[in-house]
Amino acid sequence: MSENYKEISRDVFDQTLENLAFLFAESIETEEVDLISENCHEVKMSFSGEFSGNIYMVVQDDFCSELAANILGISDEDEDAFNLGIDSLKEVLNVVCGRILTEIAGTKPLFNLSVPEVNKIDTDDINNFLNYPETVAFLVDDMYPVLLRFCKDD
């Protein structure tokens, strides 16, 4: 992925998180990321149209609850916060994907977006994710590591 796509991904994620969830994302190097694998989820969706590909995000469980709390105005300790956090995570990825595609292709092309899917992710998968050159990393509100990977099919 060109550096420009990485920069677009960084800017869009930061703006989306701030506007949608009132959370602030600081871009960091992937080497600085410290994820606890037994508590991590990967959310993924695909897109097709003028070009096709996938977008992925890796987060820890506690980020999901915080995300739901900020988006929905509930307590992050609410017993439903984690489940609502998974839905909130899907929505954030959906918005991020749409905004990245608009930044890259403009407003005229139409894209088909899949429904986001969430799965647990293990240590090997996280390490692989960190090694992709298109992966960008963030520290959200100085406590939640987040990985984002936008990749076009060749």
What pLDDT is stored for residue 110 in this prediction?
A: 95
In a domain, 52, yes or no: yes
- 134-154 in b/e form (b: 16+ CB < 10 A) is bbbbbbbeeebbbbbbbebee
In a domain, 147, yes or no: yes
What pLDDT is stored for residue 83 in this prediction?
A: 80
In a domain, 7, yes or no: yes
Domain with 21, as residue range(s), is 3-29+40-152
CATH number at residue 134: 3.40.1550.10
Residue with the bigger pLDDT between 76 and 54: it is: 54
Average pLDDT over residues 57-64: 92
Work out the mean pLDDT of the chain and round it to a whole number: 92
The rounded Cα 61 to chain-centroid distance in angstroms is 13
pLDDT greater than 90 at residue 1: no
In a domain, 35, yes or no: no
In a domain, 67, yes or no: yes
What is the rounded CA–CA span in Å between residue 80 and residue 140? 22
In a domain, 34, yes or no: no
